[in-house]
Chain A
Amino acid sequence: MENQEKMMTGEESLHIITEMINRTKGNIRQASFHILFWGWLLFVCSISEYLLHKFTNWATPWYVWFLVIPGIFVSLIYGYVSGRRLRIFTYASMVYMWTWLAFLIAGTVIFIVTSKDPEVFPPLILSLAGMATLISGVIIRFRPLIAGSITFWIFALTAYFGGPDIESLSVSVAMLTGYLIPGYLLKRKENNNEIQRA
């Protein structure tokens, strides 16, 4: 941009304002990492619980869910380190970050209050995940993620009404449709955007 004291017309001013605002709109980099990380982690936990429950005599297959605790630390550390590298932090990024932190806090509260009735935990957490995923999809304007959020609510209902076997499978399938498929599509889009920027 050239020297700055040159007089501009109103149209030129408007053009600069619009162009600059458009350049920062919806700029959320590497959003796919957390979606894919949690998609795989929760898919492995839920399918393992189902298989252990179905094919072994182990009395407490739900122990596999303790993998979520190190997962939280991995996610927080990754978010902190990658956040420090960011050269721009948009309001969209801020809403995105707080949506998932709120999900983490609300999920912990739900885990505590449903500890005496653990069967209701999966449908509740899937409903909450659906909400956070929908907000994320709307913020980054990514339709597969919005569609994925709807599948969370469908599988929350099947988890509640389907009995213990269907419950674990519902969580597994919800991870595929809600996180993993949209996550890989988003990763592909991010990679394409990086190539175009280069």
Chain B
Amino acid sequence: MKYRELDPLLHSQLRLAVISLLAGVEYAEFTYIQEQTGATAGNLSVQLNRLKDAGYIELIKKFRGNYPQTICRITPLGRQKFAEYIDALKDYLKT
């Protein structure tokens, strides 16, 4: 039996946590994701940029008062890749 390969970009703890979180919401702020995943700001920033470069998420920078704010939102491609990852995972877990 041939298995579908798990997307290497999603098959990592932090990136998978980010995509899973964003898949269930309209958008989430950087600090909220940091709080929920327990990641450091630098680490999270690197992983978010990798997801953004692949087109899985979009990052919107804006200001709330005098403070910079980063809003993260999953893209249709990110949603599709997440669904494919879950399908592949189901096959893997069945065996």
Interface residues of A in 2-21 (CB under 8 A from B): 2-8, 10-14, 16-17, 19-21
Nearest 3 A-B pairs (CB), nearest first?
A: A20-B20, A87-B32, A87-B29
A23-62 vs B, CB cutoff 8 Å, 1 = contact: the mask equals: 1110000000000000000000000000000000000000
Residue of B16, B32, B47 near A16 (CB, 8 A) is: B16
- For chain B, what secondary structure do more than half of its interface residues adopt (helix, strand, loop), or is it mixed? helix
CB <8 Å contact, A8 and B24:
no
11 contacts between A and B (CB under 8 A): A3-B14, A4-B13, A4-B43, A8-B16, A11-B93, A12-B13, A16-B16, A84-B64, A89-B27, A90-B24, A93-B26
B21 within 8 A of A: yes
CB <8 Å contact, B11 and A13:
yes
- Docked Cα-Cα span, A30 to B88, in Å, equals 39
B residues in contact (CB < 8 Å) with A: 6, 11-17, 20-21, 23-29, 31-32, 36-39, 43, 47, 64, 86, 89, 92-93
- For chain A, what secondary structure do more than half of its interface residues adopt (helix, strand, loop), or is it mixed? helix
Q: How far is the CB of B12 from chain A (nearest CB, A)?
A: 4
Residues of B within 8 A of A91 (CB): 24-26
Residue of B14, B26, B64, B89 near A1 (CB, 8 A) is: B14
CB <8 Å contact, B20 and A17:
yes
Residues of A within 8 A of B15 (CB): 4
CB <8 Å contact, A8 and B12:
yes
CB <8 Å contact, B13 and A21:
no
CB <8 Å contact, A24 and B16:
no
CB <8 Å contact, B17 and A1:
yes
Q: How far is the CB of A69 from chain B (nearest CB, A)?
A: 30
- A17, A84, A93: most-surrounded residue (chain B CB, <10 A): A17
Q: How far is the CB of A99 from chain B (nearest CB, A)?
A: 15
CB <8 Å contact, A13 and B16:
yes
Q: How far is the CB of A90 from chain B (nearest CB, A)?
A: 5
